[in-house]
């Protein structure tokens, strides 16, 4: 049985894995999930990427939106607003609240996030093993110009720069302002979660789905030991470009790519990962002309359709990633 | 301006105070609320009596039910059940959840319950000052026969007696089994909440609404200092019988009255409070024959209609309580 390890953020990663399950129904898939975008809201621990994985693979996702629950209602949020309690910019629905309540209660009872995630997955049956990248607290912060915070900062404080939580940057500010740095606070002291290094060591193939290379895959790689384990695994590591035609397929990756000095092109993202980590890279057919420059960097590259327009198209992408992995291995 | 202090439990107290506000619109009313039935559910601090007061007086109550919010939905609870997380016997709705989330978050941030209650009331504007009897943790436990817990206890453990949380006794078991004792755990070490003793000392009248004399008013009186302050206040203390025609008007007070050795009669409840505490007592017209026995116990007594069938009937009861207070004073 083929053992596949996938490093995943939220929507892009979750949708890709759904296609991968379809493409490789007999494989044992382990997903290492990003927890850098976790946030405490209303006293509850919210893990947006883990939840998107769980809901998408377990059949509870709001399909059009890509995050949150289907048939969601927002009564609790409205009531919190009536108490003057925010933030209002984060869309927590009633069904979603239950997940955070269970998680927070288990964490308060002493369970690590990995055990909590396993317990939540007992309901969702995602068909893959979802492992948080770490049980330790890591919080991705984005350094922005204070002036860009607008009305919420007044007077002298409007000078200079300020680090905001990734969710504030991504959701509240919609990544519309310049990011000067992306810092996974706490990552340097974090340990890989239980099973993470073992899964990598036992993998036959390691995949980077078209997740954000900075704030999703990049954050996972920032946990000491994970990047090294992948580089040393001795198995094909293949990624899929989240940039198509010089723009992120979804999300707003350009600003955070700029923050780490990477151009928003499929080739630049491959070079950012580097040949020390990546053996193969899929770019979209519209970026076929970038194949030579990726291969020059020592990374085998193919141009194939990379738009996840449905499970079938996504499964085809996953099959092509697995085929490229076999090419690399051979 | 007349200053009225009311000791109150949940539904009965809240409805009485609504009538009192109507009867004495210019009075400054301070409500000392029972917190002995507070419970932690799903990691959240739930204060059923304080919330019933707040919702009833603030216009958010589910009128027919007497507790919980109007137009309530139960999405979060259904989702928690889908995770296998209970208890299912406690009816927490989505709107109600928001209150507990705000409260829990404020308490985690270091605010005492009294400050939290004030903050929540800033939204509800109950028109009275609601003070928790204490900021310390008090939890009313009820001692029952273990066998009465039924299926949830097996084997050897089914022998003997067990203390259960008041809510488990009241809501889950519907007070259908014998109570051997009612213990306000923690009350002996609790201090009256901020403003409680001051309000009593400055009161012109103190009222005991037709709340449960054991688990509502009794729990408040169990906080050291409160009973003494009332006895020493030197102002009329008048109560309204929660027992009409030898049965509790609502709720299931007979079992907890039996636990403290008190008959379920209007006269027995008056004698239970005692003339050291109580100056006047209203019984229902159907209990008019008990007036002499109450007066023999040194408590002035009147028989008047005591069914809170609506705000007008309740306001009349409140007026009669205030009139009896003036009679006592004169």
* Sequential DSSP letters for A104-129: HHHHHTT--HHHHHHHHHHHH--SSE
**Nearest chain B Cα distance for residue A122, angstroms:** 8
Residue B234 falls in which region: left (phi positive, over 0), alpha (psi -120 to 50) or beta: left
pLDDT at position B115 is 98
Residue of B nearest to A119 (CA): B83
ipTM given for this complex: 0.90
DSSP, residue by residue, B275-309: TTT-SEEEE-GGGGGGHHHHHHTT-EEEE------
Q: How far apart are CA A197 and CA A52, in angstroms?
A: 23
Average pLDDT over residues B25-47: 97
3 state SS for B55-108: HHHHCCECCCCCCCECCCCCHHHHHHHHCCCCCCCCCCCHHHHHHHHHHHHHHH
**Nearest chain A Cα distance for residue B109, angstroms:** 9
Domain ranges of chain B: 3-134+188-329, 139-179
pLDDT at position B253 is 77
Average pLDDT over residues B108-124: 97
| Average per-residue pLDDT for chain A | 94
Task: Tell whether the torsion through CA atoms of B216, B220, B222 and B228 is positive or negative.
Answer: negative
Please tell me whether residue B190 adopts helix, strand or coil conformation: coil
pLDDT at B249 over 90: no
Query: Any residues with CB less than 8 A from the CB of A305 and at least 6 apart, and which?
Result: A284, A285, A313, A316, A317
- Across the interface, which of B85, B94, B101 has its CB nearest the CB of A43? B101
pLDDT at A209 over 60: yes
**Testing the interface with B: which of A41, A42, A43, A46 to mutate, by most B Cβ within 10 A?**
A43
pLDDT at position B164 is 92
Q: Are B312 and B285 in contact (CB under 8 A)?
A: no
pLDDT at position A249 is 77
Question: Which stretches of chain A sit within 8 Å of chain B by CB?
Answer: 42-44, 73, 75-80, 82-85, 94-95, 97-99, 101-102, 104-105, 108, 120, 123
pLDDT at position A251 is 67
pLDDT at position A321 is 98
In degrees, rounded to 5, the angle at the alpha carbon of residue B60 between the alpha carbons of residues B318 and B209 is 25
Q: How far apart are CA A171 and CA A68, in angstroms?
A: 13
Instruction: Kindly list the residues from chain A whose CB atom is less than 8 angstroms away from the CB atom of residue B73.
Output: 73, 75, 94
CA dihedral A228, A232, A238, A239 (to 10 degrees): 0
DSSP, residue by residue, B102-151: HHHHHHHTT--HHHHHHHHHHHH--SSEEEESBSS--EEEEEEEGGGGGG
Instruction: Kindly list the residues from chain A whose CB atom is less than 8 angstroms away from the CB atom of residue B85.
Output: 98, 101-102, 105
**Testing the interface with B: which of A40, A102, A125 to mutate, by most B Cβ within 10 A?**
A102
pLDDT at position A246 is 79
Q: Decide which of A260 and A28 is more confident.
A: A28
**pLDDT tens readout for residues A259-309:** 999 999 999 999 999 999 999 999 999 999 999 999 999 999 999 999 999
Q: How far apart are CA B58 and CA B60, in angstroms?
A: 6
Record: contact A104-B76, CB cut-off 8 A: no
**Testing the interface with B: which of A45, A58, A79 to mutate, by most B Cβ within 10 A?**
A79
pLDDT at position B274 is 96
pLDDT at position A99 is 98
Instruction: Kindly list the residues from chain A whose CB atom is less than 8 angstroms away from the CB atom of residue B125.
Output: none
Residue of A nearest to B119 (CA): A83
CATH of domain A3-134+188-329: 3.40.50.10680
Band the pLDDT of B105: cuts 50, 70, 90: very high
Query: Any residues with CB less than 8 A from the CB of A168 and at least 6 apart, and which?
Result: A89, A142
Average pLDDT over residues A229-250: 92
- Across the interface, which of B83, B95, B99 has its CB nearest the CB of A98? B83
Q: How far apart are CA B22 and CA B38, in angstroms?
A: 28
pLDDT at position B251 is 67
Band the pLDDT of B84: cuts 50, 70, 90: very high
Instruction: Kindly list the residues from chain B whose CB atom is less than 8 angstroms away from the CB atom of residue A80.
Output: 98, 101-102
**Nearest chain A Cα distance for residue B84, angstroms:** 8
- Across the interface, which of A80, A98, A105 has its CB nearest the CB of B98? A80
Q: How far from chain centre, in Å, is Cα A95? A: 22
**Nearest chain A Cα distance for residue B122, angstroms:** 8
**Nearest chain A Cα distance for residue B240, angstroms:** 34
Helices then strands, each counted (H, E), chain A: 13, 14
Average pLDDT over residues B218-230: 98
Q: Are A101 and A120 in contact (CB under 8 A)?
A: no
- Counting every residue written for chain B, the total comes to 330
CB atoms within 10 A of CB B319: 16
Instruction: Kindly list the residues from chain B whose CB atom is less than 8 angstroms away from the CB atom of residue A43.
Output: 101, 104-105, 108
User: Which residue ranges of B are tagged as binding site?
Assistant: 51
**pLDDT tens readout for residues B276-305:** 999 999 999 999 999 999 999 999 999 999
Record: contact A102-B82, CB cut-off 8 A: no
pLDDT at position A153 is 53
Record: contact B44-A80, CB cut-off 8 A: no
pLDDT at A254 over 90: no
- Report which of B222, B257, B249 is spatially closest to residue B140, judged by C-alpha positions: B222
Q: How far apart are CA A88 and CA A77, in angstroms?
A: 8
- Across the interface, which of A73, A80, A97 has its CB nearest the CB of B102? A80
Record: contact B94-A79, CB cut-off 8 A: yes
Question: Considering only A146-155, A171-180, B281-290, which range has the smallest mean pLDDT?
Answer: A146-155
Record: contact B79-A99, CB cut-off 8 A: yes
Band the pLDDT of A159: cuts 50, 70, 90: low
Q: How far apart are CA A172 and CA A86, in angstroms?
A: 12
pLDDT at B150 over 80: no
Instruction: Kindly list the residues from chain B whose CB atom is less than 8 angstroms away from the CB atom of residue A99.
Output: 79, 83
Average pLDDT over residues A165-170: 90
Percent of chain B with pLDDT over 70: 97
- Report which of A48, A28, A42, A221 is spatially closest to residue A128, judged by C-alpha positions: A28
Please tell me whether residue A243 adopts helix, strand or coil conformation: strand
**pLDDT tens readout for residues A79-105:** 999 999 988 888 899 999 999 999 999
pLDDT at A146 over 80: yes
**Nearest chain A Cα distance for residue B79, angstroms:** 6
Residue of B nearest to A105 (CA): B43
Record: contact B95-A75, CB cut-off 8 A: yes
Question: Which stretches of chain B sit within 8 Å of chain A by CB?
Answer: 42-44, 73, 75-80, 82-85, 94-95, 97-99, 101-102, 104-105, 108, 120, 122-123
Residue of B nearest to A97 (CA): B76
| Average per-residue pLDDT for chain B | 94
């Amino acid at each position: 049985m083929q053992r596949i390890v996938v490093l995943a953020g939220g929507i892009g990663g979750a949708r890709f894995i759904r296609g991968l399950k379809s493409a490789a129904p007999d494989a044992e898939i382990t997903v290492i999930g990003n927890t850098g975008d976790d946030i405490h809201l209303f006293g509850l621990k919210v893990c947006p990427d883990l939840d998107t994985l769980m809901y998408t693979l377990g059949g509870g996702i709001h399909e059009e939106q890509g995050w949150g629950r289907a048939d969601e209602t927002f009564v609790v949020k409205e009531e919190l607003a009536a108490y003057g309690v925010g933030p209002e910019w984060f869309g927590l629905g009633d069904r979603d609240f239950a997940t955070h309540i269970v998680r927070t209660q288990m964490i308060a009872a002493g369970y690590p996030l990995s055990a909590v995630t396993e317990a939540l997955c007992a309901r969702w049956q995602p068909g893959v093993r979802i492992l948080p990248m770490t049980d330790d607290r890591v919080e991705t912060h984005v350094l922005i110009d204070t002036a860009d915070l607008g009305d919420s900062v007044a007077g002298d404080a409007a000078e200079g720069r300020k680090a905001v939580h990734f969710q504030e940057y991504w959701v509240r500010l919609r990544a519309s302002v310049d990011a000067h740095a992306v810092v996974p606070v706490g990552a340097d002291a974090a340990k890989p979660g239980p099973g993470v290094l073992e899964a990598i060591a036992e993998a036959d193939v390691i995949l980077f789905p078209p997740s954000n290379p900075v704030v999703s895959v990049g954050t996972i790689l920032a946990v000491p030991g994970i990047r090294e384990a992948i580089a040393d695994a001795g198995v094909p590591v293949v990624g899929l470009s989240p940039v198509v035609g010089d723009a992120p397929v979804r999300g707003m990756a350009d600003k955070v790519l700029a923050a780490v000095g990477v151009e928003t092109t499929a080739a630049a993202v491959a070079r950012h990962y580097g040949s020390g980590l990546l053996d193969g890279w899929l770019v979209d057919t519209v970026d076929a002309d970038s194949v030579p420059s990726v291969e020059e960097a020592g990374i085998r590259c193919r141009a194939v359709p990379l738009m996840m327009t449905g499970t079938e198209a996504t499964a085809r992408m996953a099959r092509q990633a697995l085929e490229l992995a076999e090419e690399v291995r051979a």
